[in-house]
Amino acid sequence: MHIIHANGADIPALGLGTWQLTGSTCTEIVREAIRIGYRHIDTAAAYGNEAEVGKGIRDSGVARDELFVTTKIWHDSLDAEGVVNSIEQSLERLDCGPVDLLLIHWPSAIVPLEETLAAMQHVQESGCTRHIGVSNFPSDLLERAVALTDGGLVANQIEYHPYIDQTKPLEAARAHGMATTAYSPIGRGTVLSDPAIVEIAEALGRTPSQVTLRWLVQQDRVAAIPRTSKVERLKENLDIFDFELSHEQMDRIFALARPDGRMVNVSWAPAWD
């Protein structure tokens, strides 16, 4: 497993996303993912599944210190008191000790970023999380966040797949030694039937999903957290570290980005790059 070193954090480049996974299915997928080699698990308070994720972690039989666990604080809990309450509740639900990374799930248009990040640093210093970061931050907001934390952020989690150009936030993260974690890395499945990706996959004897995930992790300091509800898909998504894409293949996939490629654009979203 490739490890991304980002401002003191060691982040496995391929993780398991758990958005929309619930109940026993969530626990089973997390448990089996860890058993076959996943070491990076991503959840969030807003997903409503932290208890199930935590049970999957405990049931896996793998030592907690071998895993990198991320959770997030929802945008309605970003005042100082809300940050403390949110992480304490997350830790209670997960029941597997401090998390490795705590993220601001979405930036707030109401609570000053200074207040939120001060609270994030406080819960880090108190031992609730080993590292802190952000999610859904465009480049200008990321620059502000970095300035407010003296370079203490380790990741920005953003929508990233072949249909969206994320050059600006990627460059901003790299400039400050941060990782970028790609959510919806296969574009909610839409990229898997793209002729260019299918052709590359056939040439390499790989699946379109493997080619897309390989394209992401082959970039500098980019991690991917595909989500699946099928145990049989777990191994397919993980098996991307024994081949490489050529420069031509990488560029061909980069060229798929389009103006309407964004798939997650909620009403509380910031002004994107």
Residues 6+ apart with CB under 8 A from 4: 10, 11, 12, 13, 179, 221, 222, 223
Question: Would you say the C-alpha torsion 19, 188, 223, 16 has a positive or negative sign?
Answer: positive
Of 47, 160, 163, 183, which is the active-site residue? Answer: 47
Residues 6+ apart with CB under 8 A from 48: 22
Cα 77 to Cα 149: distance, rounded to the nearest angstrom: 19
**Span between the terminal Cα atoms of the chain, in Å:** 31
Ordered strands of the 16-17 beta sheet: 16-17, 40-42, 68-73, 99-104, 129-135, 153-159, 179-183, 222-224
CB 172 within 8 A of CB 189: no
- 160 as an active site residue: the answer is no
Which 8-state DSSP code applies to residue 9?
Answer: E
Query: Would you name the residues annotated as active-site residues?
Result: 47
